Chain A
Amino acid sequence: MYEKNGEKYFVVDSHMHYWDASPENWVEGAEQYAKGWIECFHAYQGLGPAETHQPIEEFQRVSEDQLMREVFEEGYVDKAIFQSTYLREWYKNGFNTTERNGSLFEKHPDKFIVNTRFDPRDGDKGMREFEENTKRFGAIGAKLYTAEWNGDSRGFKLTDPEAYRFLERAQELGIKNIHVHKGPTIWPLDKDAFDVSDVDHAATDFQGLNFIVEHVGLPRIEDFCFMATQEPNVYAGLSVVIGGLMHARPKFFAKVMGELLFWVGEDKMTFGSDYNIWTPRWQIEGLVDWDYPSDEFSDYPRLGTEGKKKILGLNAAKLYGIEVPEECRLPAPGEGAQLVDEREVAQA
């Protein structure tokens, strides 16, 4: 929890990682990709405040102690949601697997939620792994990385028939939230990696799932925004938006926030630190203090304390059914983010 000026903010970090990108984990023959990937992430860290920058060796693999300190002790986070990114083509044991994240969850079950993942190109074997992990960690969320390399393939779409098979199974297994990576870092060869039309279709066809578009489709936020206004079960995941812009480019951050508040609205935006790219502390402090820097932005919707509370934790708490302490709740229950079951009931 974060407290400022007598206001108490319940914080859900809905997009973070526990990765191993150390050279010992690089796949032989693919070292340049493994190295390129983590260096790319490291350059993103450079967009945060200087005092938070880490040497590359430390950045490649933080210890459990460091993660627990930076996220929960120094970082105000009440509940953190692990998102998986496998990248087995480049990292022997995977970059940030459900199992690796799950190892921390099992030690600190009150602190974490583990999201699983699937890759429709992995076929039946992948389906079994997805089912096992979903059950093992009680997952109600999954992360999809559509630009991931897999054998000869350089990406997939949610609308691929195999992907639909997995989404159907996900619903049966009790998954509620699909986090889709639409943003940097890796690009398929000739497709537009940020094309969100596949999310648009899937969100229409799978009303029992929420789709949280991580990184809001950056750099194509406008396509994301136009789509999100049409789909009640599409949310804006703010990972990279806050970390990559708020400190480094405050004016552009204000514009992006203005656009998101205008098209998507504060009820459907969720905070994610993208740890260990950035630590949560400065992002949370900065967002709570944030306002538009000048009159130039006067035609964008304002973001008040209530909206900040929703973005920092209350929206994600609803999506994941997380109990929020009385002192951190809003005075009156608003509309906004809901577990899909509740929305369906409300609509019925």
Chain B
Amino acid sequence: MKKSLEKLLNKPLPGDPLLPHKALITDVEELAPGHKRFSFSFLDEKLNETWEHIPGQFVMITVPKAGEIPISICSSPTRKGTIELTVRKVGRKTEVLHQMKPGDVVAIRGPYGNGFPVEIMEGHNVLIIAGGLGLAPLRSLIWYILDKRPLYKEVYILYGTRNYESVLYKEEMRRLRKRPDVKCLYILDKIENEEDRAWTDREGLLTELIPEVDLDPADTYVAVCGPPVAYKFIGKELLKNGYPESQVFVSLERKMECGIGKCGHCQIGYKFTCVDGPIFPLWDTKNLPEML
């Protein structure tokens, strides 16, 4: 024990993992009321080229004068040059970010977290289940898989939102539905007007779509992201339909200050969401109390 402790102290000083890189906002798009997509590129050209991430990972973004927030990356690593984040205006810091415009400078560090096991998923079916803003980290996965389409078997996308107005990436999701190599099932909490009806004729909860997925559960990897309350129901429904717990991956949200397992806020049971997650197999609910 002593020897390993001595070794820790004898190492040379490492680089500062908390120091962010300057990044320029290159594009802002209003997706839905209170939701915006921000595109960034680093001022350091080299970093734009070397930047790599895995779908499901997140960054810490410094909103000038307001502070740092963890946001999951919604662009695919297969499309280099820019990083995209989907941000809902929900608190003090995101409100400031929402006022920012193309040309403004922020600072970003990362990527952090484990990401979805995209390599293990290769050669299998993939079922993607997104609820509301949960589409953000999954959009990264969707485009990653579609860009490497031959590596994966069947791909299903289930997407549930409150109404058509709150659907994110409307055009993209519409185009996805037209693709022959991916099956899309969209659902709305309530269909109230023509717009809603034009989007989908399905009304109800996201869980209702799960039994309709025509895949062999044993050969399928599932990626889930949605509001905290949804996980319990989605998880239960997936298990009921025979999906193995070790093949269902959920993306979780917790309070974070550092992203590198030092601030403690994001602990779920004995794990840190920022370094051991934010992607957890459903299997972990057995070991981690209060995970879902």
Co-assembled chains A and B: no
